[in-house]
């Protein structure tokens, strides 16, 4: 009898637990997954005129898209990557599946894939990682007319905002590229741009980097230090939009565009900031270029920045040609001049023989006074001395061309900006130059 009562008690207790579980978990995991997937799917198909989209990358700046999803799992898009992507609509496929969350997957090659592509020749990214962007995005939330997704690996947000019929027409017509060209042409013909921001006494320089898809504010603080704030932007059908977090002195900037020939920035409260021009650069380069400054490096990538004539070009090209003449042939990948610390400067190069990459470093002691850098006591690591013939022209240049006056370099190509140079005091026409980098 006692055994029977025990069995009955245990069964009733188990049933009670089942009821409690049912109250706590009213839906099975499969049901919650399905609901989440359907929420994303329904959301993507809910915009009659498609979506304005923005996506930032970890290796570069921001990129803009127009996307229109349909029930057959195809998506039409244009993008601000280049002239072709801005004018030729691309149709690809997508899927929505569960991967720890409801996930939008672009499963055939499209314009977003270019940012992800690990082959440098595709869109200029780094071998193996592209621009550090994704093609799989997990669903975060829907808020009003906005859907927010996040890349699985690099965690950058893909933000979709419902487009109007008028916006769709501009994206898929000639207006999209015309807007991109208009913004680029403005900054190609307007130099030393600045604005005023409440709480900042000095002029605030505004720099739009078309190639890097970044924007920056920079100014000299009252104590003489240089302050820089960098953001990422993308082109839209009208003007540009900044990725979240482009904030200066408590002001969050969200967009900008041309109004009657004047470029205007707007903050998230509707504040309006006109961009004006100064006769000279807003900030002297020596105020920015230092081992602990806004920039500490002059960088040459796979080739010299275009549109610049300098005597240094010959030394650089001789180095390229000598590496190419080797057997097996080698490629000079990059050259950088860096203020490594308060007393040591380096010239770092990388070359590749088709299978391996070799880094070679020349080191110098330096002094930096009144905007002039003087190098001394050169030393070279083993990879440099092993390729002494190939590096001879660059080595000779840095040993004997200085001292160097630090200043900006201007390219005749309006798309090439933010260059700095080392001008030999003895010969201003033969200067080393490259992109200013931190």
Model pLDDT for residues 280-315, shown as the tens digit of each residue = 778 888 988 999 988 999 999 989 999 999 999 999
Map 310-362 to HEC letters. Answer: CCHHHHHHHHHHHHHCCCCCCEEEEEEEEECCCCEEEEEEEEECCCCEEEEEE
CATH architecture of the domain with range 176-283: Beta Barrel (2.40)
pLDDT over threshold 90, residue 255: yes
CATH fold for domain 287-437: Lipocalin (2.40.128)
Query: In which element (H, E) is residue 405 found?
Result: strand 404-409
Any alpha helices (H) in 265-311, and if so which ranges?
A: 285-288
- CATH fold for the domain made of 41-173: Lipocalin (2.40.128)
**pLDDT the model gives residue 223:** 83
Does the pLDDT at position 20 exceed 60?
no
Please give the average per-residue pLDDT across 204-210, as a whole number. 94
Question: How far is Cα 176 from Cα 95, in angstroms, rounded to an integer?
Answer: 27
* Domains of the chain, residue spans: 41-173, 176-283, 287-437
Give percent of the chain above pLDDT 90.
Answer: 80
Q: Is residue 9 very low, low, confident or very high in pLDDT (cuts 50, 70, 90)?
A: very low
d(CA 195, CA 189): 17
Query: CB-based contacts of 158: which residues, under 8 Å, 6+ apart?
Result: 53, 54, 55, 104, 137, 148, 149, 150, 151
The share of the chain scoring above pLDDT 70, in percent, equals: 94
Pairwise CA distance, residues 412 & 308, whole Å = 7
Calpha distance 423→409 (Å, rounded): 10
Distance from C-alpha of 135 to C-alpha of 108, rounded to nearest angstrom: 9
Residue 12 has pLDDT above 90, yes or no: no
Query: How far apart (Å, rounded) are the C-alpha atoms in residues 371 and 290?
Result: 10
pLDDT value of position 2: 45
User: Do the domains 41-173 and 176-283 sit in the same CATH topology, yes or no?
Assistant: yes
Per-residue model confidence (pLDDT) at position 431: 97
3-state secondary structure of 186: helix
The values of phi and psi at residue 8, to 5°, are -65, -40
What per-residue confidence (pLDDT) applies to 26? 59
Predicted confidence at residue 17, as pLDDT, reads: 46
């Amino acid at each position: 009898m006692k055994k029977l009562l025990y069995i009955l008690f245990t069964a009733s207790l188990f049933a009670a637990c089942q009821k409690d579980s049912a109250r706590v978990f009213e839906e099975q995991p499969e049901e919650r997954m399905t609901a989440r997937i359907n929420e994303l799917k329904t959301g993507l198909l809910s915009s009659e005129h498609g979506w304005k989209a923005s996506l930032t990358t970890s290796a570069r700046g921001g990129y803009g898209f127009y996307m229109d999803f349909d029930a057959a799992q195809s998506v039409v898009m244009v993008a601000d990557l280049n002239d072709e992507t801005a004018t030729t609509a691309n149709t690809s496929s997508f899927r929505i599946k569960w991967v720890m969350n409801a996930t939008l997957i672009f499963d055939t090659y499209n314009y977003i894939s270019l940012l992800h592509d690990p082959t440098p020749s595709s869109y200029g990214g780094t071998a193996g990682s592209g621009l550090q962007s994704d093609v799989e995005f997990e669903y975060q939330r829907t808020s009003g007319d906005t859907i927010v997704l996040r890349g699985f690996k690099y965690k950058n947000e893909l933000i979709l905002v419902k487009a109007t019929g008028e916006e769709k027409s501009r994206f898929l017509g000639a207006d999209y590229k015309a807007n991109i060209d208009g913004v680029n042409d403005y900054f190609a013909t307007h130099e030393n741009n600045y604005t005023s921001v409440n709480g900042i006494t000095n002029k605030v320089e505004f720099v739009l980097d078309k190639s890097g898809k970044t924007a920056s504010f920079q100014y000299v603080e009252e104590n003489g230090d240089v302050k820089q704030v960098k953001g990422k932007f993308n082109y839209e059908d009208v003007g540009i939009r900044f990725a979240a977090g482009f904030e200066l002195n408590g002001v969050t900037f969200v967009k900008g565009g041309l109004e009657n020939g004047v470029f205007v920035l707007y903050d998230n409260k509707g504040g309006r900031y006109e961009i004006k021009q100064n006769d000279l650069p807003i900030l002297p380069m020596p105020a920015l270029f230092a081992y602990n400054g806004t920039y500490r490096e002059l960088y040459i990538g796979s080739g010299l920045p275009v549109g610049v004539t300098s005597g240094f070009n010959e030394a650089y090209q001789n180095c390229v040609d000598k590496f190419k003449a080797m057997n097996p042939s080698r490629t000079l990948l990059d050259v950088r001049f860096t203020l490594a610390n308060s007393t040591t400067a380096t010239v770092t190069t990388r070359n590749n023989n088709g299978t391996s990459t070799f880094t070679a470093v020349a080191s110098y002691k330096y002094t930096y006074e009144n905007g002039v850098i003087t190098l001394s006591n050169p030393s070279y690591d083993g990879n440099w001395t092993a390729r002494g013939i190939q590096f001879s022209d660059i080595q000779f240049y840095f040993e004997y061309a200085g001292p160097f006056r630090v200043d900006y370099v201007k390219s005749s190509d309006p798309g090439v900006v933010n260059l700095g140079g080392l001008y030999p005091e003895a010969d201003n026409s033969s200067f080393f130059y490259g992109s200013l980098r931190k």
